[in-house]
Chain A
Amino acid sequence: MSLTGLFLCTFLIVHLAGNLQLFKGDEGRAFNVYSHFMTHNPVIMTISYLLYASILIHSTMALILTRHNQASRPVKYAYQRPEANSHWTSRNMGILGTILFIFIVIHMRTFWFTMHFGPIPMVNYDGEEYKDLYTVVSAAFSNGLYVLFYVLAMAGLSFHLVHGFQSGFQTLGIRHKKYSPMIEWIGTYGFGVLIPALFAAMPVYMFLKTHGFIG
């Protein structure tokens, strides 16, 4: 769980960096070039298969563990106050993870599938044909409900990572008086706040842009 989880965390950084091209204001040229690169570079393609595998392993392991953990307490308590001893996020990683899994499926259907298997409009930069993913993205995020779904999913991501990032280190036994506060800080503010916020900003930005609220 921790290895796949932390790997997925590093992916988030890369994915975010690339997708920030959306904000460039060049009618999607940088973004489309970046998308092209990501789908054609052999190294990236290999890593992407590792990524798909990680998602599957992470979710399968989670399912197995959840079932195992539930079996470890066949008779439940009649009255329980877990809020007195632990955070809600840490106890509900399964639910948060399920939301994220659904999100990933929809997200990939909308963009990844279209990018790979079309139909998708084409655009020409300096004589070379590129798939115009930017237009697909703009179209998708012009739908308010779809944007709302993304924002909510990113809230889920936030809660998942606030606990998950630190927990990954704990599982690997990486805990030290000097360094653990740093890991906690990165987990909480980096992966828990900054990254989900930036991801959520994209659909909102595109929505506002396509509806003419911003230039």
Chain B
Amino acid sequence: MNITLKVWRQKNSQSQGNLMEYKLNDISPDMSFLEMFDVLNEDLQKRGEEPVAFDHDCREGICGMCSMFINGRPHGPQGYTTTCQLHMRVFNDGDTIYVEPWRARAFPVLKDLVVDRSSFDRIVQAGGYISVNTGSARDANEIPIPKEVQEESMDAAACIACGACVAACKNASAMLFVAAQVSKFAVLPQGQPERQLRAERMVAQMDAEGFGACSFTGACSVECPKSISLDHIARLNREYLGAKLTSNNV
């Protein structure tokens, strides 16, 4: 199949960028979207041009590195799929495909399609953990956890921190990401001691990073490649309100 790409090119975080057009012929429908980009980059290098920089690593949908805004949607048109798992067969011969980086104040563009998502790391550093030093744990089976609670925690913990939620949200809000991090511990017995502090600190950090506010459009959950539910955002709100109202942290 033949396609036309309109790809965001930007030299570095200081410079202005623009959409560049590239034509690719004889693309196999069995290629992954990133393999199509590999082909483009080989071409560009052969022509003496700089290849398009994009983040990617595991190419099996779990590392969360790949992050392309494809034809107006994060990770492209197929639901529950990361960019690396998207295959060219979902496009048609002759299509024009727009590829842009995630857009958010808290995700500045570093080059071309590569953005800086370290804000997510700082949010986790603010409280996304259970404080337990190595070696101080008791026997694993001494903490019984109902199966459905474990499943609920796992649903939230499946987040790959790709940032599609932020990219999809019209407010560039990180609520779904933060909610997943808070929620996975809030339901577990191990997460109880730091429960209030965690919610307060992570939300404060999220605000400090410059993400927008949640207005419950639901776009984040629809575009999430791991289909993390809006239920977690409600839980985060509950946790946060509860903590603000009742905790002793002034």
By a beta-carbon cutoff of 8 Å, the part of chain A in contact with chain B is 65, 68-69, 71-82, 84-87, 90-91, 93, 163, 166-167, 170-175
Contact = CB atoms under 8 A, between A and B. Distances in A.
Interface of B: 6, 8, 19, 69, 71-73, 77, 98, 100, 103-106, 109, 168, 170-173, 210-219, 222-223, 230-231, 233-242
Given A85-B219, A171-B216, A69 B241 contact: no
A48 to B, nearest CB: 28
Nearest to B236: A173
B77 A91 contact: no
A163 B217 CA distance: 8
Contacts of B239: 173
Contact of B71 (A76, A81, A170): A81
Given A86-B217, A171-B214, A173-B238, 15 more contacts: A69-B212, A71-B210, A78-B8, A78-B100, A79-B72, A79-B100, A85-B218, A86-B170, A90-B216, A90-B218, A93-B215, A163-B216, A170-B233, A174-B234, A175-B234
A84 B103 contact: no
A17 B105 CA distance: 46
B81 to A, nearest CB: 13
Contacts of B6: 78-79
Contacts, number: 111
Interface of B is mostly: mixed
A72 B102 CA distance: 12
Nearest to A163: B216
B104 A72 contact: yes
A73 B212 contact: yes
Contacts of A80: 72
A109 to B, nearest CB: 30
Contact of B222 (A69, A71, A78, A85): A85
Nearest to B222: A85
Interface centre among A73, A93, A170 (most CB of B within 10 A): A73
Contacts of A175: 230-231, 234-235
Nearest to B232: A175
Contact of B212 (A72, A166, A167, A174): A72
Contacts of B240: 173
B19 A170 contact: no
A77 B215 contact: no
A85 B77 CA distance: 10
